[in-house]
A = this chain, B = another copy of it.
Amino acid sequence: MADVLREEREGVFRDGGERLSVVDVDVHEMLTSIRDLIPYLEEPWRSRIEVNDGFKGPPGNPYAFPQPTGVAIQDAVTDDGSPAGSKLEMVQEQVLDRYDIEPAILNSLFHPTDHQIQPEFATALASAYNDWIVENWLDREERLRSSITVAAQEPHDAAREIDRAGSDPRFVQVILPAVAHHVFGKPYYWPIFEAAERNDLVVAFHQSGGTRTAVGLPPYYIEWHTAISQNWQSQLISLVAHGVFDRFEELKVAMIESSWTWVPHLMWRFDYNYRSLRREVPWVKRLPSEYIRERVKFSTQPMEYPENPEDLYRMFEMIGSDDFLMFATDYPHWDFDSPKQALPHSFPRDLQRKILRENAREFYDF
């Protein structure tokens, strides 16, 4: 099966005679520093950054990364010490060109939602960030799409930002951090889903510096990174239990970097509980697994690699759909996946094609 997706030159796949560009649903662009946003901010927020009094933006990941190159994959480390992911040329060379990727979706790791004070400042930072993305990334490279950054703690303001930025079709989704202090199924947050639906945008979840586990922030990064899928699980449970999918019938949700082999367990357990306990949530009209199967997609990265690769395919089958999974590199991070190596070669040819390309194209309507 190794020749299913033949590599004609480095990174360019062909399926039979047809060129098969890959869709990458998770690339992280980075600010060089918070000062990059100065041109896009009004007062009084502009001065808050200009005077350079130590404000660095919303809190980032607190762990020292136990990899030789920190959080970055080796290739993505810059010569001048600026953050990995902050240079468009490197994204072009190392992602778009090298693997013939088109489009790649930029997912911000800059989450004003995690800025727990001064919500108007958070909202201003979100708008500035979206303007910065347009000018420095989308206008300079047509193979890119982007998420809309919001300050979700003020859902009505976030909805206004979604309407504003969402008028540009290069924004394809709204990104929310999978964190402990916002439980997004609650009606308080519904203006965000309403605005996403109104603008035909996906709502995506991704970890941030505010991501916690069932025991908070554990001492070691390896613990945190092993456990954090719990956050997406809890957000997904919240969306279903609060009836978000019943209320917003067109809403589509992407779980980015959540991993996905926990999905069968969660579907089974949630369905079992629903059968016994549904009188607590009478607005949920169908089995939880049905909403998940029909309305939610997951990204490949991080993939898991069981000793027996067949186990991964069995997991896939258990979810009962062949369109739930979308390829992601997670560039520029240490656990970057190449489209050449992410999927076991034993996955059926059609399925590989769907994961590497078709599922995302259909979901995002590219």
The docked-state distance in angstroms from the alpha carbon of A193 to that of B275 is 39
- Could you say which of A32-40, A110-118, A167-175, A210-218 contacts chain B? A210-218
A230–B216 CA distance with the chains assembled, in angstroms: 11
| Minimum Cβ distance to chain B for residue A236 (Å) | 10
Instruction: Decide yes or no whether A120 CB sits under 8 A from chain B.
Output: no
Say yes or no: A213 contacts B226, CB within 8 Å: no
How many residues of A are counted as interface, with CB atoms below 8 angstroms from the partner's CB atoms?
61
Which stretch in A75-83, A132-140, A260-268, A347-355 binds the other chain?
A: A260-268
**Which residues between 303 and 348 of chain A lie within 8 Å of chain B, taking CB atoms?**
304-308, 311, 314-315, 318, 320, 334-335
* A279 interface contact, C-beta 8 A: yes
A180 touching B241 in the complex, CB below 8 Å, given contacts A280-B222, A304-B269, A334-B276: no
Can you tell how many copies of this chain the complex includes?
2
**Given known contacts A183-B215, A259-B265, A265-B262, is B305 in contact with A222 (CB within 8 Å)?**
no
| Dominant secondary structure of chain A at its interface with chain B | helix
Inter-subunit contact A234/B262 (CB<8 Å) = no
Judged by a CB distance under 8 angstroms, whether A281 is at the interface is yes
Complex Cα distance, B272 from A276, in Å, reads 36
Is A237 at the interface (CB under 8 A from chain B)?
yes
In the complex, A274→B67 CA distance in Å?
A: 11
Q: Does A220 lie within 8 Å of B234, measured CB to CB?
A: no
Q: Are B335 and A276 in contact (CB under 8 A)?
A: yes
Tell me which residues across on chain B come within 8 A of A315, comparing CB atoms: 264
Q: Kindly provide the distance from the CB of A242 to the nearest chain B CB, expressed in whole angstroms.
A: 8
CA distance A218 to B277 in the complex (A): 15
A238 within 8 A of B: yes
What are 15 A-to-B residue pairs whose CB atoms are below 8 Å?
Answer: A66-B277, A66-B279, A213-B230, A214-B230, A214-B231, A219-B242, A220-B280, A222-B241, A226-B269, A226-B273, A229-B265, A230-B230, A259-B269, A264-B311, A272-B335
Chain A interface residues toward B at CB < 8 A: 66-67, 180, 183, 186, 212-216, 218-223, 225-227, 229-231, 233-235, 237-238, 241-242, 259, 261-262, 264-266, 268-270, 272-274, 276-281, 288, 302, 304-308, 311, 314-315, 318, 320, 334-335
Known: A230-B230, A230-B234. 18 other contacts (CB 8 A): A180-B214, A180-B215, A180-B216, A183-B218, A213-B230, A218-B238, A219-B241, A219-B242, A220-B242, A220-B281, A225-B273, A226-B237, A261-B268, A265-B304, A268-B306, A269-B304, A311-B318, A314-B314
